[in-house]
Amino acid sequence: MKIDELSKIEGFKKLADNSASGKEFGSVYISDLLSVVLSKAEHGCLWITAQSHKNIVGVASVKEISAILIVEGFMPDGDTITKAREENIEIFTTELSAFESVKLILKKNGDL
């Protein structure tokens, strides 16, 4: 599924528009623990988290994660968005939970 298609899902808002939008993500990984993401997430995945601070961009960049979806209404600050643009990582936010978000992603992808 292309990252850009996430912005077509109702309730998802794209914050860090950049050239990563055209990329595909092959898997989804959900965790708020940074070391667990560093250990387990696949590169090129979509990472879903409730963390919204700047360090998430570092984690995503190191793991070559394509996009981050910040759930539960948490909002990254300007520094985080700027850093994401620099590192070419897409950031989306939503008021939804991780579970509800995944259901919508699967539905959009035709898996539900």
Partner 1 sequence: MRIFVEDIANIGSTTLKIKNKLKDIVSRPDALRRLGVCLFESEANLAIHSTGGVLEIVVFSSKISVTASDNGPGIPDIEKALTPGFSTAPPWARELGFGSGMGLKNIKRLSNAFSLMSTSAGTVLKFEIATL
Quote the Cα angle for 75-95-63, to 5°: 55
The distance of closest approach from Cβ of residue 75 to partner 1 in the complex, given in angstroms and rounded to an integer, is 15
Sequence-distant (6+) residues with CB within 8 A of 57 are 68, 80, 83, 84, 87, 89
Tell me how far, at minimum, the Cβ of 22 lies from partner 1, in Å: 20
Between 55 and 109, CB nearer to partner 1: 55
Token digits of residue 11: 């309730």
Q: Which residue number, 33 or 112, has a Cβ lying nearer to partner 1? A: 33
**If 0-12 CB within 10 Å is exposed, 13-18 middle and 19+ buried, where does residue 61 land?**
middle
Compute φ and ψ for 51, nearest 5 degrees: -75, 145
CB of 103 to partner 1, least distance (A): 24
Query: Smallest distance, Å, CB 10 to partner 1?
Result: 28
Measured from the CB atom, the residue of 58 and 72 that comes closer to partner 1 is 58
Name which of 39 and 109 has its Cβ closer to partner 1: 39
Residues that bind partner 1 (CB under 8 A): 32-36, 38-39, 43, 49, 51, 53-59, 61-64, 87
